[in-house]
Amino acid sequence: MKALATAWRRAWRGWQGLWRAAPPTIPPTLWQSVLGQQPWLARRTAWEQDGLKQLAEGFLAQKTFSGGHGLVVTDHMAVTIAAQACLPLLHWGPHALDWYSDFVGVVVHPDEVVSQRTAVDGAGVVHRYRETLAGEAMQGGPVMLAWSHVRGGARHGGQAGHSLVIHEFAHKLDMRHKTADQAPDGCPDLPQGFMGQPSHMGTQRLWRQTLYNAWEVHQQQVAMAERFGGEAPWLDAYGATSPVEFFAVACEAYWADPSAFEQACPTLWPLFHAFFTPGQPA
């Protein structure tokens, strides 16, 4: 993996003394150009776009972008990724970027990456296999993204409700406050009193039961569609893989196409709405 400093970082390095006071601003023309290519971001209210721009500026000041396989990460690419990565943080106040404080690096490859994997089965046999990845979020480590998929705005060819960036950063939300031996489980760290629950255990139980029930229904729908030609669910079939992937896929859908998500996932909507927009009426 070849790491290249981006033009963005080079341009800002000279301003480093100013970063502590306030991150540099994204030029308005660049911001408008990024929004113009992502209608689902451009549809956000002016207040949300302003908040998103500020978050993206903070994100860009804190993170380092590198290109793999000879890719040079342009300012436009970095801002595109930053805007999508920060969207889920929009309503979480001035310390929202702390959710991403466990890592610095964002690695962007031109296309999918083939990764060597090792797995041990129940009998103790070690299996080695190759996996093609469009993106990956590593616990305590960088986020990897394939630019071809970010630019396409979809993992499977431009369907609504997809954002590879939000998918990978949703994994980061899931990993927050989890130790190395505590795998992500689709249940992010929830605030005290979440949805009127009096205890931390109650909030976690509510989230888990609701998400896992919806995941089981999704699994069944995907299986019916694949085996018997039933109607495929609106939510990406990839979510059937595990509760962890279901959470990431649902986060993509919630942010990329909120009204379709509300219709397709009525049990998840109140949960996600309470989590991502605390204090706002459903």
In the bound state, the residue with its beta carbon closest to Zn ion is: 248
Site string for Zn ion, 222-261 (x = CB under 5 A): -----------------------x--x-------------
CB of 136 to Zn ion, least distance (A): 8
Stated length of the chain: 282
For Zn ion, give the closer residue by CB, 236 or 245. 245
- Cα–Cα distance for residue pair 6/18, rounded to 1 Å: 19
51 to 70, contacts with Zn ion by CB under 5 A?
A: none
Q: Which residues of 175-191 are buried (b: 16+ CB within 10 A; e: fewer)?
A: bbebeeeeebbbbbebe
For Zn ion, give the closer residue by CB, 168 or 257. 168
For 14, 199, 259, the CA distances from 68, given in Å and listed in that order, are: 25, 45, 36
CB of 47 to Zn ion, least distance (A): 30
Site string for Zn ion, 87-106 (x = CB under 5 A): --------------------
CB of 171 to Zn ion, least distance (A): 6
112 to 131, contacts with Zn ion by CB under 5 A?
A: none
For Zn ion, give the closer residue by CB, 53 or 167. 167
For Zn ion, give the closer residue by CB, 8 or 147. 147
CB of 112 to Zn ion, least distance (A): 14
For Zn ion, give the closer residue by CB, 235 or 248. 248
CB of 168 to Zn ion, least distance (A): 7
Residue 164 interacts with Zn ion (CB under 5 A)?
A: no
CB of 167 to Zn ion, least distance (A): 6
Count of residues interacting with Zn ion (CB under 5 A): 2
For Zn ion, give the closer residue by CB, 57 or 236. 236
- Which residues bind to Zn ion, rule: CB under 5 A? 245, 248
